[in-house]
């Protein structure tokens, strides 16, 4: 089903504050119960976006990619990497996401699921943990098959609801597992790392000391510096410099 077959307003479901790039809908549909899906193409040399949706958002890169993808979800560390075919990203309901992209040339499948769908259809509640450009064979297979079905014509409600229920159940199972994401390799709690990264982003225009960052994480400066580098791959001072360069 294409966008023209939908009631007015549905093509805005994936709209957000975006600067740079050109996107086009290829297929789009919504189903009763709070499930929506779209297949889009997107090109752009330099792009930025910000959005905060009431639905859970799940995205699969179908083809193409980017040379750089950056992503910041409040309360979580910054991600910088690249989109590639098969990468899956998830943003929970209500979470604000800021993204920046370089040399985007891709085709992707996006699914929006109302949190009430999980409560009504599955009898479960929960948001799951956000993630960006990860490999998940089950999610990729379900979303790829869903996108293919949309390319063939109208997708029955039962199909869409079954697929949505499967991905939500899988996301909640992922969130329940004791992943290494909850604690860094050196033992820095993820919530403390998120607090430090948020402070750095808010303080790029002023001096930021390792001692000050260590206090935010409740660690001595030397311990903090070692554990920060273990988490982020660079020393704190280098990370601050790189963020200032990127901001400029």
| The pLDDT of residue 1 | 35
Q: Is 32 exposed, middle or buried (0-12, 13-18, 19+ CB in 10 A)?
A: exposed
> Residues of 128-167 as b/e, b for ≥16 C-beta within 10 angstroms?
bbbbbbeebeebbebbeebbebbeeeebeeeebbebbbbb
Place of tokens 């260590």: 214
Question: What's the sign of the alpha-carbon dihedral 65, 70, 76, 77?
Answer: positive
| The pLDDT of residue 205 | 84
Q: Is the separation of the CB atoms in 34 and 58 below 8 Å? A: no
Q: Is the separation of the CB atoms in 225 and 210 below 8 Å? A: yes
pLDDT digits (tens), the chain, 248 positions: 333 333 334 445 555 667 888 889 999 999 988 999 999 999 999 999 888 899 999 999 999 999 999 988 877 788 888 899 999 999 998 888 899 999 999 999 999 999 888 766 555 455 578 899 999 999 999 999 999 999 999 999 999 999 999 998 888 887 766 544 444 445 577 778 888 888 888 888 888 888 899 999 899 888 888 888 877 767 888 888 877 876 76
- What does the DSSP 8-state code read for residue 166? H
| The pLDDT of residue 89 | 95
């Amino acid at each position: 089903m294409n966008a023209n077959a939908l009631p007015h307003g549905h093509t805005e479901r994936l709209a957000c504050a975006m600067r740079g790039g050109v996107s086009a809908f290829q297929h789009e549909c919504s189903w009763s119960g709070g499930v929506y899906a779209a297949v889009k193409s997107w090109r752009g040399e330099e792009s930025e976006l910000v959005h905060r949706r009431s639905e859970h958002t799940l995205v699969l890169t179908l083809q193409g990619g980017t040379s750089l993808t950056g992503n910041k979800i409040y309360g979580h560390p910054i991600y910088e990497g690249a989109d590639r075919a098969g990468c899956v990203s998830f943003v929970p309901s209500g979470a604000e996401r800021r993204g920046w992209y370089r040399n985007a040339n891709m085709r992707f499948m996006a699914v929006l699921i109302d949190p009430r769908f999980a409560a009504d259809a599955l009898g479960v509640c929960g948001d799951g943990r956000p993630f960006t450009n990860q490999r998940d064979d089950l999610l990729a297979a379900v979303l790829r098959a869903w996108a293919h079905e949309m390319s063939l014509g109208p997708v029955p409600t039962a199909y869409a609801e079954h697929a949505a229920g499967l991905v939500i159940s899988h996301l909640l199972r992922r969130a329940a597992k004791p992943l290494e994401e909850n604690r860094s390799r050196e033992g820095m709690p993820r919530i403390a790392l998120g607090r430090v990264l948020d402070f750095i982003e808010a303080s790029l225009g002023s001096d930021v000391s390792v001692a000050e960052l260590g206090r935010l994480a409740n660690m001595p400066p030397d311990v903090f510096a070692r554990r920060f580098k273990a988490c982020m791959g660079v020393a704190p001072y280098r990370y601050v410099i790189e963020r200032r360069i990127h901001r400029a």
